[in-house]
Structure 1
Amino acid sequence: MTVKVSHTAEIQSLFNEAAGLNNDQGSPRAKQILLRLINDVAKIIEDLEITDDEFWHSVDYLNRLGARSEAGLLVPGLGLEHFIDILQDAKDAQLGLTGGTPRTIEGPLYVAGAPIAEGEVRMDDGTELDHATVMFLDGVVRDTDGKPIAGAVVDVWQANTKGNYSYFDQSQSEYNLRRRIVTDAEGRYRARSIVPSGYGCAPDGPTQECLNLLGRHGQRPAHIHFFISAPGHRHLTTQINLSGEEYLWDDFAYATRDGLVGDIKFVEDVAAAHDRGVEGERFAEMQFNFELQKAPAAQAEQRSNRPRALQQA
């Protein structure tokens, strides 16, 4: 027989006290959120008859999750970051804010302050050219009326051939595979990079531990992240997943969306490679254009204040 006491006056008084409702200090918003969270956790404990062992193993799991800095990895893995995107899509539709390139999850691996250049950049440091495939990425940033946007900033970051990101992977050079590109007068950006690799959660980490309990894998297809911004336009957080990838529509982080698949083409032509400054005969090309909505307010031009690496940059 399930015993429930969370609704009683005694317990509600306890939770109100714990959430700071009995004082005038602190943050009213934090109190509101924590009171709801405490009550919801209490109801889970009651409704699912959580045992003491299950409760304290969960507490230990949260400790280990934080120690490995994997909370930002587990959140998309549980569909919550994708849910926030879908919720914002619904709010936009209600306000009549439609069109433009779809948003999708940011993920936890952005680093602020990447080198910035006009029109065209090289993203990789050349250390993987003995086995990497050179990739040429280009496109145009337009508004929803099809007009090119000059001076837009294309902030792009990606993994290397091992599925690792600079800064978090100390073996890579500073800002390797991270750049900001200012679009030219025709709204165009160009980048020489390398084809990134997909990757998976660390097999010994707490995120994969949770996924194992759910019978799920922790793999992502190869992809490239973008922030796109321009005065008078809504900031766009998105990423393109590369066509042909095994996990393209089975991304554990739920980032793949219609309209966000990059059609990568591999070329094997010695003369064409030579013309593009590539040794050997094989390289890849991918074109991807972006459309930005008009900003309904100045605040919409800025990305969220989510804590990020080198936030001060």
Structure 2
Amino acid sequence: MTTRISHQPEIQQFFRQAAGLDNAGGNPRNKEIVLRILKETARIIEDLQITDDEFWAGVSYLNRLGGSNEAGLLVAGLGVEHFIDLLADARDEASGVSGGTPRTIEGPLYVAGAPLSEGEARMDDGSEDGVATVMFLEGRVLDLQGNPIAGATVDLWQADTKGNYSYFDKSQSDFNLRRRILTDAEGRYRARSIVPSGYGCDPAGPTQACLDQLGRHGQRPAHVHFFISAPGFEHLTTQINLSNDDHLWDDFAYATRDGLIGEIRFTEDPAQSAKRNVEGRFAEMSFDFQLRPARSEQATQRSQRPRALQA
């Protein structure tokens, strides 16, 4: 017979004490959250009959996860970050808000402070010339009526041909493949970059270790991340997944959504390459973004989640 005690009044009071609810100090909101975590943890231990070995293996895993700085990766891989987007979508629908480019996950690899330019930018530092395929990316930032938004900030970042990101990959130069572009009078942005590679979790890392236990892979399709912002409009966090990737609809982080597929076109015509001032094969991709009007000043700002800061 399974012993269940978590519902008993004295145990419930014990959890309230542990969460600090019997004293005036601390943060009331955080107390409420910790109390819920304690109660749900107790229920899991009881309902699933968690053994001591399983419990302490879980504690050890959390230590490993934090030591590897992969918590942000794991919440994406387990679909929690996608759920937060779905919840925001549901709240919008309940409030009668619709339209605009869909949101999707940010992921853990943004770095603040990328170089800012007007209208257009080259994103890569040239270190993969002759290896990478040059990609020309352009589009417009529009309002819901299709009018251009001049001066919008298009903050974009992507991986290199090995699936690595600058700052986290110390072999890359600072802000390689990271730029901020202000749209021109027509709401247009242009970027010369390279075709990014998809990538997978570190096979020796704790995120992949968890996925292995679930019988899942840790692969992501090639993609480009975006923050789009402009005064008076809702901040948009999204990413464009490249149409030619085998993992397009099999993204371990669940970031692929209808309306967020970038149709990439490859050209091998020497005359076209000459016009673009490149050698050999190159790629083109166009993507327009539509922003919704902001209902509050807070809606114009991105979330305050902790992010990497360039030293």
Q: Give the TM-score range, shorter chain.
A: over 0.9
Q: Deviations over 1:85-133 (max 9, x none)?
A: 0000010011111000000000000000000000000000000012100
| Root mean square deviation of aligned Cα | 0.9
Q: What's the CA shift for 1:74? A: 0.3
Match of 1:38 in 2: 38
Q: 1:109 maps to which residue?
A: 109
Verify: 1:226 aligned to 2:222, yes or no: no
CA deviation string 1:174-196 (max 9, x = no partner): 00000000000000000000000
**Post-superposition offset of 1:10:** 2.2
**CA distance in 2: counterparts of 1:101 and 1:261, whole angstroms:** 11
The equivalent of 1:291 in structure 2 is: 290
Post-superposition Cα deviations, 1:34-87, rounded to whole Å, max 9, x if no partner, equal 000000000000000000000000000000000000000000111100000000
Deviation at 1:14, TM superposition (A): 1.5
Shift of 1:27: 0.2
Query: Which residue number corresponds to residue 188 of structure 2?
Result: 188
Distance (whole Å) between structure 2 residues aligned to residue 260 and residue 112 of structure 1: 23
Q: What's the CA shift for 1:8? A: 1.2
Separation in structure 1 between the aligned mates of residue 2 and residue 183 of structure 2, nearest angstrom: 62
Quote the Cα distance in structure 2 between the aligned partners of 1:17 and 1:277.
Answer: 69
Partner letter of residue 59 of structure 2?
Answer: V
Q: Give % identity.
A: 70
Moved over 4 A (4+): none
1:9 offset after TM fit, Å?
Answer: 2.1
For residue 158 of structure 1, what is the aligned residue in structure 2?
158
Superposition TM-score, scaled by structure 1 size: 0.98
Map of 2:93 onto structure 1:
93
Show structure 2 runs of 5+ residues with no match.
none
Higher alpha-carbon deviation: 108-117 or 14-23 = 14-23
How far off is 1:19 after superposition?
0.2
The one-letter code matched in structure 2 to 1:286 is M
CA–CA distance in 1 between the matches of 2:47 and 2:149?
54
Distance 2:244 2:163 in 1: 17
Partner of residue 168, structure 1: 168
* Secondary structure, counterpart of 2:294 in structure 1: coil
Alignment partners' CA distance in 2, 1:277 and 1:67 = 46
Aligned residue type for 2:303: S
Q: What residue in structure 2 maps to residue 202 of structure 1?
A: 202
Counterpart of 2:164 in 1: which secondary structure?
coil
Runs of 5+ unmatched residues, structure 1: none
- Aligned position for 2:305: 306
TM-score (norm 2): 0.99
SS in 2 for 1:83: helix
2:20 alignment partner in structure 1: 20
Question: For this pair of structures, how many residues does the alignment match?
Answer: 311
Distance 2:292 2:221 in 1: 27
